[in-house]
Structure 1
Amino acid sequence: MSDLLDRALAPLRTHPTLRPGDRVLAAMSGGVDSSVMAALLHRAGHEVIGISMQLFDKKTVQTSDGRCCTLDDFQDARRVAHDMGFPHYVMDFEARFRETVIEGFIQGYMDGETPSPCIRCNQHLKFSALMERAEALAAPFVATGHYATIEAERGRWHLRKASDPAKDQSYFLFHHTQATLARTLFPLAHLTKAEVRSLGAELGLHLAEKPESQEICFVTQDRYDAFLEAEGRDPGLGEGEVRHLDGRVLGRHHGYWRHTVGQRRGLGVAYAEPLYVVRLEPATNTVWVGGEADLLGRDLVARELSWVDGPPAGPLACQARIRSRSQEAEALAIPLPDGRIKVSFAEPQRAIAAGQAVVFYRDGEVLGGGWIDSRP
C-alpha cells in the first residue's frame, strides 16, 4: 500500500461513527471522483452499494465532452463496481429531478433570475432522495465524490472547506443539516485532484484519466436559451426594450430570459463604453444595462434559508459568497420578520444575481445559505 492510499484511507478508519463493514450507498456518476470515492470505501472494508441516478432521458441529450450522467458514464460506473467487486444499480429519479430541478431552472429564468441547478440537485436528489433509498436498504451512510470536509466536534457536526481550495465544493452543499451530515461521507475531502487520479491508477480503475464534467447535465452545448425554447416556456412577450439606467432606449432584445446579470456580450446595442446587463424586469419585458460601476452593490436579500446548526438568534457577522467562483467577503446578515435575511457587505460586490445562492462562512466553515431574491 502506498503512502497516498494509506493517507486516503485514514479518515475512514478514524470516522467517529463509521464502523468496519458498515453498508454505504455510494453515488457514482461515472467520473473519476465518485469512482475513487467508492473504491476507497470498498478498500476500507465497507459494504458498498454503487448507485447511479437516472435523472433525465439520456437519449434526448447529446453525449459530449464535459457533460456528466450520460449512458457512457453509467457504463463506466458499472465497470468500476464490477472490477472492485461490489454491486451497482441505476435508479430512476427522472420524475423527481424534473419536479425539483428542471422546473425550478425554467421558472427561474422566466422570473428574470439566474438559477443554480447543481445545488438544487444536491439538495433534493443526492442528499434527500438517495438518503431515502439508503434507509430502505438499511445503509447508515450515503457517500459522494464532493470535495468538502465533515468533522465532528463536541457532539456537533461541522461542514468545512476541502483541503484543496482549487477543488472545494462546500458552496454547493450549504443545505446540509446536523441530521444529513451525520449520515454523509466525503472520502475525498483531504485530497487534491492529482492525488485522486493517482489513486485511481493505483486502484486499477480504467477511468483514472477521464476528463472532468463541467456543464449542466441536461442542457446541451451550454445553450440554456435553446433548452428553454425546446421546453416551450417562452413567456410569449416577444421583443422588448434594452434600456440604459438613465432611461434611454438603446435597442431591442429577443427575450429577457436570454440574458443574465453581468452579461456583456450579445446585447445587440452600440455604445461608446462597455455595457453590462444590470437588471432584468420580466413585468415590463425590459433588459436594463449600465456601466461596470453599475454592477456593484452592497446589499441583497435572500430567501429559503438553510442552516447547518440552526438559524442565528440575531445579526450574524460572517463571510459571504455570492457565486461559486467568487471569494467570500465580510458581511453582516440580519434576519427579517418575513423569514428572509438581509446581507450587507463591507465592500461592494460585483453582479449580485437573483437566483444564485449566497453562502455564509466563518473561518472556512459553512454556516448556511439561501437564495438571492429578486425582491428588495
Structure 2
Amino acid sequence: MSDLLDFALAPLRTHPTLRQGDRILAAMSGGVDSSVMAALLHHAGYEVIGISMQLFDKKTTRDSDGKCCTLDDFQDARRVAYEMGFPHYVMDFEAKFRDTVIEGFIQGYLNGETPSPCIRCNQHLKFSALMDRANSMDAAFVATGHYSTISLAEGKWHLRKASDAAKDQSYFLFHHTQESLARTLFPLAHLTKPEVRQLGAELGLHLAEKAESQEICFVTQDRYDAFLESEGRDPGRGEGEIRHLDGRVLGHHQGYWRHTIGQRRGLGVASTEPLYVVRIDPDTNTIWLGPESGLMSRDLVARELSWVDGAPAAPIACEARIRSRAPEAEAIVIPLPDGRVKVAFAEPQRAIAPGQAVVFYRDGEVLGGGWIDGR
C-alpha cells in the first residue's frame, strides 16, 4: 500500500460510527472525484453500491467542454464499478429534479433572481432523495465526492471546510443538519485534486485524468436565457426600459430575465461612465443601472434558512459568504419575526444578488445558510 493510499484511508479507519462491512450508497456521476471516492470505499472493505442519478434527458456524448452527466459519464461510472467489483445502478430522479431544480432555476430568473441550481440539487436530490433510497436499501451511509469535512465532537456533528481551500465545496452544503451529517461521508475531504487523480491511477481507474465538469448540467445551450426560451418560459413582457438610478431612461432591453446583478457587458446602452445592473424589477419590467458604488450594500435579508445545529434565538456574530467564490466577510445575523434573517456586514459587499445563497461560517465551520431575498 502506498503512503498516499494509506493517508487517504486513515479518516475512514477512525470514523466514529463507520464500521467495517457497512453498506454505503456511493453517488457516482462518472467524474474523477466520485469514482475515486467509491473505489476508495470498496478498497477499504465496505459494501459499496454505486448509484448514478438520472436527472434529465441526457445526450449520449459530451458535445461541449465542461458539460456533465451524459450517458458516457454513466458508462464511466458503470465501468469503474465493474472493474472494482461492486454493483452499480442508475436510478430515475428525473421528475423530482424537474420539479425542485429545473423549475426553481427557471422561476428564479423570471423573479429577477440569480438562482444556484447546484445547491438545490445537493439539497433535494443527493442528500434527500438519495438518503430515502439508502433507507430502502438498508444502507448506513450516503457518500459523495464533495470536498468538505464532517467530524463529531462533544456529541455534535460539525461541517467544516475541506483541507484544500482551492477545492472546498462547503458553501454548497449548508443545508446539512445533525441528522444528515450523521449518515453522510465525504472521503475526499482531506485530499487535494492532484492527490485524488494519483489515487485514481493507483487504484487502476481508467478515468484518472478525465477533465472536470463545471457547467450547469441541464443547460446545453451557450446561454441560460436560450435555455429559458427553449423551455417556452419567456414571460412575454417583451421590451422594457433600462433606467439609470437617477431616473433617466437609457435604452430598452429585450427581457429583464436576460440580465443579472453586477452585469456590465451586453447592456446595449451608451454611457460615458461604467454602468452595472444594480436592480432588476420584474413587476415594472425595468432594468436599473448605476455606477459600481450602486452595487455596494451593508446588509441583506435571507429566507429558507437551514442550520447545522439549530436556529439561533438571538443575533450571532460570524463570517458570511454571498457567492461560492467570494471571501467570507464579518457579519451579524439577526433573526426576524417571520423566520427570515437580516445579515448586517461590517463592510459593504459588492453585487449581492437575490436568489444566491448566503452561508454562515465561524472559524472555517459552517453554521448554516439561506437564500438571499433582497438587500
Give the corresponding residue for 2:308.
Answer: 308
Percent of residue pairs bearing the same amino acid type:
83
2:84 equivalent to 1:84:
yes
CA distance in structure 2 between the aligned counterparts of 1:301 and 1:159, rounded to whole angstroms: 24
Number of aligned pairs? 375
RMSD of aligned residue pairs (Cα, Å): 1.0
Give the corresponding residue for 2:63.
Answer: 63
The correspondence of residues 168-179 of structure 1 with structure 2, limited to 5 A, is 168-179=168-179
| Cα distance per residue 1:84-124 (max 9 Å; x no partner) | 00000000000000000000000000000000000000000
Measured after TM superposition, the shift of residue 64 of structure 1 is 2.3
CA distance in structure 1 between the aligned counterparts of 2:28 and 2:222, rounded to whole angstroms: 23
CA distance in structure 1 between the aligned counterparts of 2:104 and 2:259, rounded to whole angstroms: 17
Give the corresponding residue for 1:150.
Answer: 150
* CA pair 373-75 structure 1, distance change in 2 beyond 3 A: same
- Stretches of structure 2 that go unaligned for 5 or more consecutive residues are none
CA distance in structure 2 between the aligned counterparts of 1:295 and 1:62, rounded to whole angstroms: 37
- Stretches of structure 1 that go unaligned for 5 or more consecutive residues are none
The correspondence of residues 129-140 of structure 1 with structure 2, limited to 5 A, is 129-140=129-140
2:186 equivalent to 1:189:
no
Structure 1 range deviating more: 358-367 or 219-228 = 219-228
CA distance in structure 1 between the aligned counterparts of 2:32 and 2:112, rounded to whole angstroms: 36
The correspondence of residues 283-362 of structure 1 with structure 2, limited to 5 A, is 283-362=283-362
Contact 1:318/1:360 (8 A) holds in 2: yes
Contact 1:251/1:268 (8 A) holds in 2: yes
CA distance in structure 1 between the aligned counterparts of 2:164 and 2:310, rounded to whole angstroms: 27
Give the corresponding residue for 1:369.
Answer: 369
Measured after TM superposition, the shift of residue 16 of structure 1 is 0.3
Could you state the TM-score of these two structures normalised by the residue count of structure 2? Answer: 0.99
Measured after TM superposition, the shift of residue 61 of structure 1 is 9.1
CA distance in structure 2 between the aligned counterparts of 1:202 and 1:364, rounded to whole angstroms: 31
CA distance in structure 2 between the aligned counterparts of 1:62 and 1:264, rounded to whole angstroms: 31
Give the corresponding residue for 1:270.
Answer: 270
CA distance in structure 1 between the aligned counterparts of 2:60 and 2:204, rounded to whole angstroms: 33
Give the corresponding residue for 1:229.
Answer: 229
Give the corresponding residue for 1:159.
Answer: 159
Q: Which residue type is aligned with residue 12 of structure 1?
A: L
The correspondence of residues 87-126 of structure 1 with structure 2, limited to 5 A, is 87-126=87-126
Measured after TM superposition, the shift of residue 221 of structure 1 is 3.7
CA distance in structure 1 between the aligned counterparts of 2:334 and 2:59, rounded to whole angstroms: 47
| Cα distance per residue 1:294-327 (max 9 Å; x no partner) | 1111110000000000001200100000000000
CA distance in structure 2 between the aligned counterparts of 1:324 and 1:228, rounded to whole angstroms: 23
CA distance in structure 2 between the aligned counterparts of 1:155 and 1:212, rounded to whole angstroms: 37
Contact 2:162/2:168 (8 A) holds in 1: yes
Q: 1:166 is paired with a residue of what secondary structure?
A: coil
Could you state the TM-score of these two structures normalised by the residue count of structure 1? Answer: 0.99
| Cα distance per residue 1:179-211 (max 9 Å; x no partner) | 000000000000000000000001000000000
CA distance in structure 1 between the aligned counterparts of 2:274 and 2:202, rounded to whole angstroms: 51
Q: 1:176 is paired with a residue of what secondary structure?
A: coil
Contact 2:177/2:309 (8 A) holds in 1: yes
Measured after TM superposition, the shift of residue 251 of structure 1 is 0.5
Give the corresponding residue for 1:211.
Answer: 211
